[in-house]
Amino acid sequence: MQLVVEGGHPLSGEVLISGAKNAALAILPALAMTQGNSLLTNIPDIADVRVMLRILEEIGCAVEHDGERVRLEVPAHLNPEVPYSEGKQLRASSLLLGPLVARLGEARVPLPGGCKIGSRPIDLHLKALEALGAQCVVEHGFVVARAPLGLHGGPIYLDFPSVGATENAIMAAALAQGTTVIHNAAREPEIVDLATALNRFGARVVGAGTDVIRVKGVDGLSGGEHSIIPDRIETGTYLLAGLMGGGPVVVSHVIPTHIEPLLAKLEEAGVRLMVGGDQVRAWLDERPRAVQVKTLPYPGFPTDLQPQITSFLLQAEGTSIVTERIFEDRFGHVDELKRLGARIKTEGRTAVIEGVERLSGAPITATDLRQGASLVLAGLAAEGETVIDGLEHLDRGYEHLEEKLAALGARVHRVEGIQEPVWV
């Protein structure tokens, strides 16, 4: 499958943002700690969610998935082993470690997959679980965590505010005996959404959204209902997509405070913004100005929007500097963007972008989710056709990508294996 983007047609109009991939992928594993029936709404219909639902079925849950609603029935007995083929496809499969070891006293989870943007160890997850009394080893490709006598609360000090380690720590602590205090916790909105959902199911988590989170363990969790927060990364992606041609574009059903780090940067670049209720409107009256961007844990600029803002800055006036501080290998878009005429140099974790007035379409390859999104954005601005391979990466995290872009006036379509020219 390839995505053909016919560039040079400015986007305008409104796009409805889906539920957050990274919140859904934390709250679905949390349900493995509950017993009974639950309903999650505003679930994004994306490949990663479908894989997570298959995993939940394989460990014993009954799943009904209908568009943006998921009903889950969790029985008293669950299988502690996450199937290898599914588990290794996702980074978020690691988020079943905490719930399964807390509930069953044992978890067997394959070393996770996800975007290849650095080495992505899970040492901080394991250190957190060990602080609660679990013993963790890697055997035959699986992380095995054991706590036959149950977990007990205590202090957890994270060396880095890792999103996944914070989530695993909260979930494990929710069913541990006594109180856990997580220091240097990640503050991302998805952590707050996880805590909100857990509290609805009967957990006692306070402080989510700050760097100290307290969890008082309870004996069990019931099911419940929860609606997933809007996806701040999808929100940013569509704002930037609209701005590739000047806009105006409106993103709806969003939480504007969650994208403040992006909005601040866009204002600096000269973007005009109107924020109201659950909508943000953005447009440009003139060519954007170059800016400096540095990714940081929330509330810093999100690494998951770094590739997309890099594409936006390709056409800015002046020289922009983008520094990636979260992942050591997240410039996979740079070489592909150069094929479209971008002027970028990377040195270590920094990219220096000299704005150009014109990009031109070419065949290019998506190799991870947000890198792929940045190629689509550049393709929208490039003259002629850009043909993008590797759509499976985009499908992991963007719901109805072509339909949403087409509704904004983009000329994009999917084709089955385009015939390469044959040279004789």
Ligand X SMILES: C=C(OP(=O)(O)O)C(=O)O
Q: Give every strand in the sheet of 106-110, ordered side by side.
A: 106-110, 142-146, 135-139
- Check residue 91 for interaction with ligand X (CB under 6 A): yes
Our CB check for ligand X shows the closer of 91 and 281 to be 91
* Pairing of the two strands 106-110 and 142-146: antiparallel
What secondary structure letter does DSSP report for 418? Answer: P
| Contact track, ligand X, 356-375, x by CB under 6 A | -------------xx-----
Our CB check for ligand X shows the closer of 5 and 326 to be 326
- Check residue 189 for interaction with ligand X (CB under 6 A): no
Measure the CA–CA gap between 341 and 337, rounded to whole angstroms.
7
Q: Indicate which single residue of 31, 56, 92, 194 sits in contact with ligand UD1 (rule: CB under 6 A).
A: 92
Closest by alpha carbon to 147, among 132, 163, 161? 132
State the catalytic residue, choosing from 25, 46, 115, 191. 115
299 is in an annotated binding site: no
Q: Indicate which single residue of 326, 351, 366, 375 sits in contact with ligand UD1 (rule: CB under 6 A).
A: 326
| Catalytic (active site) residue 115 | yes
Binding to ligand X in span 146-185, by CB under 6 A: none
Q: List all residues 6 or more positions away from 123 whose beta carbon is below 8 Å from its beta carbon.
A: none
- What CA–CA distances, in Å, run from 53 to 69, 89, 113? 12, 13, 16
Q: Indicate which single residue of 114, 133, 247, 379 sits in contact with ligand X (rule: CB under 6 A).
A: 114
* Residue 47 CA neighbour count, 13 Å, CB half: 15
Sole residue written with tokens 């055997």: 139
- Check residue 214 for interaction with ligand UD1 (CB under 6 A): no
Q: Is the dihedral of CA 302, 307, 308, 309 positive or negative?
A: positive
Q: Indicate which single residue of 327, 362, 389, 408 sits in contact with ligand UD1 (rule: CB under 6 A).
A: 327
Our CB check for ligand X shows the closer of 167 and 402 to be 167
Q: From the list ligand UD1, ligand X, none, which binds 251 (C-beta under 5 to 8 Å, kind-based)?
A: none
Cβ neighbour number for residue 181 with a 10 Å cutoff:
16
Our CB check for ligand X shows the closer of 91 and 214 to be 91
Residue-wise DSSP of 338-350: HTTT-EEEEETTE
Write out the residues near ligand X by the rule CB under 6 A: 21, 91-92, 114-115, 304, 369-370, 397
Give contact residues for ligand UD1 (rule: CB under 6 A).
22, 25, 91-92, 118-125, 160, 162-165, 186, 303-304, 326-327
Q: Which residues are catalytic?
A: 115
